[in-house]
Chain A
Amino acid sequence: MIELANLSKWVKAGGNQTFLLKDINLKIDKGDFVSIMGPSGSGKSTLLNVIGMLDDYDEGQYLFDGEDVGGLKEKAKQSLHKDHIGFVFQAYHLIDELTVYENIETPLLYQNMKSAERKAIVADMLDRFQMVGKKDLFPAQLSGGQQQLVGIARALVANPDIILADEPTGNLNSKQGEEIMDIFTRLNKEDGVTIIQVTHSEKNAAYGHRIINLLDARIEN
């Protein structure tokens, strides 16, 4: 499903070329659960952003479902990621002005879905995460773990093939973290959602089928 071949990304600072990613070769199949690990600054988040098409790369090839992402126009990329990819962030990144319900509903609005359909899907999602009672609360009224649940529900609501999670448990205590990991495992097993997560924690990384270690912008073997 995702194929990176000799992919590199760099920045130029004062004549020096600093690699953020170097010669990345990576193949992720449908239904995979991959954990990306590595020390700070090793390029984990950059890799995730490139996969999520939020960031560009400078060299190499990125095939998504066999399509060359490098050759796509901005609009095509946007619709690709709108239809296939859901994001979960360390800092949750919920919209403060929207309620739980509305936060979850937002991706569906951008899919131009009809109101009745939206209602049904969001209700289903609230049910699944047992948040029906909290649907009218604003993010500030929720605990961190609850906010991240909303974040995951929002990532899932548009029914993506892949979830990209950037340290999803980084701001949570270990019990909340476990809960999130259990949800990821279930999603992966039962719904066949591909999951790629960046994490610092060995324990959380172990939930994945395989672990990719990054060091100084390269994949370690």
Chain B
Amino acid sequence: MITYYLKIAWRNFKSSKLFSLLNLLGLSVAIAVCIPLFLFIGKERSFDSGYANKDHIYRVNLIPHQKSDETWGSVPNAVAPAMMQDIPEISYAARMLKNGFGTPASLRVGQENFKEDLLYWSDPELFKIFDFQFTAGEGKNPLQEDNAAVINESESRRLFGEASPLGKTIIVDNGPTLVVRGVYKDLPDNSSIDPAMIANFKSSRMSRSIYWSNASYETFCLLKPGSDIKIVNQKVQALTAKYIKDPSDRWFSLSLQPLSEIHLHSAQVMDTYISRIGDIKTVRQIGLLGLLIILIACINYMNLATAKSEKRAREVGINKTLGATRKQMVLRFYADTALLAFLSVVTGFLLSFGSLFLFNSISGSHLAMTDLFGLPTLLFLMVIWVLVTLLAGSYPALLLSGSSALQLMQKRFHAGGLDRVLRKALVVVQFSCSIVLIIAIVIIYQQMRFVGNKNLGFKPDGVLMINISGVAKAQNLVGFTNEISQMPNVRNVAFLQSPPGFGASQRSLHKADAKSDLTLYTCHADAEVVPALGLHLLAGQSLPKQLAKTDSAVYVLANKKVVDFMGWTPEQAIGRKVDVDLGENAYIVGVVDNFNYLSLKSPIEPYIYYAANDAPESFNALMVKINTDQLAGTMDKIQSAFGKDVPSVAFDYSFLDSHLATLYNADRVMQRTVLLFSCLAIFVSCLGLFGLSAFMAEQKTKEIGIRKVLGASNFSISRMLSLHFLRLVVLSIIIGIPIAVYLMREWLSNFEYRIHISWLVVALAALSGLLIALITVSYQSVKASRANPVNSIKTE
């Protein structure tokens, strides 16, 4: 019986080519799109699942009292030892400090310098918490000695080639000398922690003082199996009260976050060194988009199948008189759909090699082609096959099998008009989705352009950032800065603690009569900061060029937010003392206009540049404003000067404007993904509309013939046929616009600086949707209207 059904299904497939091809194309494109999405979601959900202790590992997070809506992923360095000592449920706790609080390290191996982004200083307990696989060296307790370090296999190849790295030395940032004691297998792509090199925390400068103030140490702990997380959390909370004697210094509370939640539920967590961060929202959005495309393709099938059902009704009727039961008829229709769905799954699978490549390149993911042959993919395809068969096949199957043989064999079979209403409803659903997507594309594009062109309050173009955190003494740089300052294309050279787009130090701005302090960001800088960054001075001048050796004052260049809070005009502020936790003698020497030192997603906050002898923060970056006319030549000169003057440090540079662009990477990925999806969804919708209009035109051949005999023009006929669909599209627009506007407002609310949704833009987007539909439909309408009426009348 089943072969019989398949035989008929195959012949049906062949006999209605247009129908079959439209469906095949629509469904296989939808499936091809869903496969990479599925792999992406699978990978996101698999994060950190490879660790043996995964269910018992937690990260210690911090919630500052002053801003209780924030969560930080790092805590003071006293937390881990205190947890180990005080809480019996904690087996191990380990700190993971990224070198220089996140700035790349400069490694010296033999005579060569390497830049290293992924050097972490950690406790030996880390290896009890996470299982690392050691391929060389003594794996059990690799960080036994204070100066021990371990590296992963890629790092070993990069630094030492094929030679064994064991026992070799590495000098970090011209400071501590480390000895390699082990090599571990590279951690998998789906691990949240990503160290290429781990050195004993005890060798780090940061281990010299253990304190409860500076929260910069990402801390992981392993709970004993069977411990009650609630109780442990309480005990962790109690640590601050025990160890911080002065209640006014207890500025935060602690909480544990399970490892399994770190990847997808930490998008809002600040101050973490983990860079492989996903977002459950993105995963959901992407899953939803994938489902939407499958749904649209299924709707196509249902629409076309019911449109065709009037043709097939007779056949069902005959089968019923020949003794077919309802069940058998239902099975037949499912066999039809199952065959088509199967062919689509196979085609979609083949197409997915291309779509996976496309997805990787637009989203920056690294999904492997080999994943396509994995068991999960095959299971997914099976599920899709069954799902599509049930979803798309049910309506025609149940509609036709439920009607009586006599009804079915009548010349014109109508299922009480229900099928027509449903068909219209489905077209409206489908096109509403398309309209929403078209509007989304336009608004996302507008917003990203707005972000790109927004006046940041400084000029990031042509600013070269050189990482100098590896340089032990600033004096070593004098020769270098002097040399490049002489170059004709170099305009300014400024020393900075951290460039815009990177975090700065957080301090408090105190005001005598105010109840609460204001969080303020401070950045150690020099006089050249104003011209190098193109800051706009409102009053006063830049920081002093030279400080006398005995000068104990702190010179402050404040942004307008600071003086606004203090209640001064920029002019009034000059020469005033400010209390910003930088000592007693901090004076404002200049005021600059507000500028966006972070991404446009966050509001501008009080920010100061300061200059002082014995500043608490060192310089980490050189900002070199250059004339980009002969960029390559200038860069060569700068690089060779650096190599000559600072031979012990790797030349690590980037451009400020391209760095700032990376702040919107996630949004750009979102923009491109939505664009691709939307185009595909609209394409698939149009396939359906095209097919449907073809069937409608075919069904109305007789009516068209009669109308033409009665004198109707070609134009009036095609208008009649097109209008039928355009009414539905207009309805879709009415439904789609409010949904789109709502969703886009939600998305825009992520940005502190955003465009207003213009009704004109929305209307134009909707109109373009209408136009696309019109073009799709009119092909069939025009074709039908131009046919010879004699032929069309004969069809009955």
Contacts and interface: CB of A to CB of B under 8 A. Distances in A.
B631 interface: no
B4 A95 contact: no
Nearest to A110: B323
Given A93-B318, A95-B318, A97-B11, A81 B404 contact: no
Contacts of A158: 323
Interface residues of B, number: 22
A215 B72 CA distance: 92
B12 interface: yes
Nearest to B328: A110
Contacts of B11: 97-98
B318 A54 contact: no
Contacts of B404: 54
A30 B12 CA distance: 41
A96 B321 contact: no
Contact of B322 (A75, A96, A107, A112): A107
Interface in A88-104: 93-98, 102
A106 interface: yes
Interface in A117-145: none
A141 to B, nearest CB: 14
B360 interface: no
B8 A87 contact: no
Interface residues of A, number: 24
B546 interface: no
B406 A97 contact: no
A106 B325 contact: no
Contacts of B12: 97
A49 interface: yes
B369 interface: no
Contact of A93 (B1, B314, B324, B328): B314
B1 A109 contact: yes
A174 interface: no
Interface string B311-323: 0001101110111
Interface in B299-350: 314-315, 317-319, 321-325, 328
A78 B327 CA distance: 12
B406 A98 contact: no
Given A110-B325, A110-B328, A95 B406 contact: no
Nearest to A115: B3
A218 interface: no
B209 interface: no
Given A98-B8, A109-B1, A154 B405 contact: no
A110 B322 contact: yes
A49 B319 CA distance: 15
A200 interface: no
Interface in A35-71: 49, 52, 54-55
Contacts of B319: 95, 106, 110
A78 B8 contact: no
A107 B323 contact: yes
Contacts of B314: 93
A95 B319 CA distance: 8
Interface string B1-18: 100100110011001000
B335 to A, nearest CB: 13
A95 B328 CA distance: 16
B463 interface: no
Nearest to A95: B315
A78 B317 CA distance: 13
B305 to A, nearest CB: 15
B409 interface: yes
Contact of A81 (B4, B8, B317, B323): B323
B4 A109 contact: yes
Interface of A: 49, 52, 54-55, 75, 78, 81-82, 87, 93-98, 102, 106-107, 109-112, 154, 158
5 A-B pairs with the lowest CB-CB distances in the bound complex, closest first: A82-B323, A110-B323, A97-B11, A107-B322, A93-B318
11 contacts: A54-B406, A55-B406, A78-B323, A81-B321, A93-B409, A95-B315, A95-B318, A97-B15, A98-B11, A107-B322, A111-B323
